[in-house]
Amino acid sequence: MAVPSFLNWSYVYSSGLGIDDVQDIMDDFATQAASVSWTNPSAGLYQSPADSGGRWMDILLTRTSATILEFRVRDHSGSTVGTRRLQISASAPTTNYNIFIGQCHAVITAHVPNQAAREYLMAFIPDPDPEAASGCTTTYVVMKGYRNTSTATVAQSVYDQWGAIDNGSAAYATRAQVWYNGASQVAWTTLNRGALIALPMGMNINVSGTFRYLGRVPMCLLVSDSVVAIDAELQIPISSTTIGTFKVIGVDSAANYDHYMAMRK
């Protein structure tokens, strides 16, 4: 078995400790983005390299204040998919962050050590395999973030949801295709002998009035939040000869479904 295409794109990882200004995240993001062939058309604006189907997205990072980072995501047509923020701590203990970025994904997480809350910003172009990247749909970018543009934390009902262009209009909707028990909405966790189960995260989008499966979120797997800890680094077989390292970022794919996202690093 070969590495699945959604885990076989470019990727790079970086992290930082004890920051008290989001400029540190922005500077690191610029460095990492350039290393995976993103361009920087203007100040704070980063454009992903086009994939085989000509698909790309851009992200505008704005330092709203020393502790607030804004993240605007657009698709190739210039349509804004969504805008979200994260906030870091200005006082000790200051914030640690992670950046995961590649051809079709960009993820920033931030948290204060020993505190549960994980702030995040993320955008993806899902992998439509087995359909071709070209022409499958012209609206293919999904994103989410921890805070809205008033810097308020997103309510749980919205936290469930991801932003995308739905049938021509930007909207947050329940999109993550997750695994769960049919009644209690709890996913299974492990196999009987304890083998961890890691699964792709699919994404839905409204295409011409019908929700369609957009594809798998690149460089990401879902694992049970009952058996893995945030920040754990998991060695997961992704082909018959390849082990991938995935860092649990502590962001649920959707509320109540017991999945954490784990990003390849």
Partner 1 sequence: MAVPAFLNTTHRYLSTPGVTDCNTCISDLATELGALSWTESAPGSGLWQSPDDSYGRHFSILIERNAAANFHITTYDQNDLLIYARRIVLDGGGGCEVRYYTGSHHVVVEFQNSGTKQIYAGCMLMMNPEDDSINQNYVVCRGSVTTAGAAAEGINLPNWGMLVNGTPNTAARLTVWGDGSGSAHIPTMPGGTRLYVPAYMAVTHGGVTYACAGVIPQCLMGSRGTAGSAYTVPIDTSTTATFHNSHATAGDRGAYLFWRAD
- Name the phi and psi angles at 227, rounded to 5: -125, 0
**Which token pair is 39?**
């361009």
What count of Cα atoms within 13 Å lies in the side-chain half-sphere of residue 12? 14
Report the nearest approach of partner 1 to the CB of residue 139 (Å).
Answer: 9
Residue number, 68 or 199, with CB nearest to partner 1: 199
Residue number, 12 or 197, with CB nearest to partner 1: 197
Residue number, 5 or 189, with CB nearest to partner 1: 189
Q: How open is the CA angle 58-40-103, to the nearest 5 degrees? A: 55
Residue number, 151 or 256, with CB nearest to partner 1: 256
Give the distance, in angstroms, between the CA of residue 80 and the centroid of all CA atoms in the same chain. 17
Report the nearest approach of partner 1 to the CB of residue 205 (Å).
Answer: 8
- Name the phi and psi angles at 117, rounded to 5: -65, 130
- In order of 31, 212, 263, the CA distances from 101 in angstroms are 11, 26, 10
Report the nearest approach of partner 1 to the CB of residue 69 (Å).
Answer: 28
Contact present, 205 and 137 (Cβ < 8 Å):
yes
Cβ-in-10-Å burial (0-12, 13-18, 19+) of 34 comes to middle
Report the nearest approach of partner 1 to the CB of residue 96 (Å).
Answer: 30
Report the nearest approach of partner 1 to the CB of residue 93 (Å).
Answer: 34
Residue number, 13 or 179, with CB nearest to partner 1: 179
Contact present, 139 and 169 (Cβ < 8 Å):
no
End-to-end CA distance of the chain: 21
Residue number, 29 or 257, with CB nearest to partner 1: 257
Q: Which residues are at the interface with partner 1 (CB under 8 A)?
A: 1, 128, 130-132, 135-137, 160, 174-195, 197, 202, 204, 207, 210-215, 226, 254, 256-257
Report the nearest approach of partner 1 to the CB of residue 65 (Å).
Answer: 34
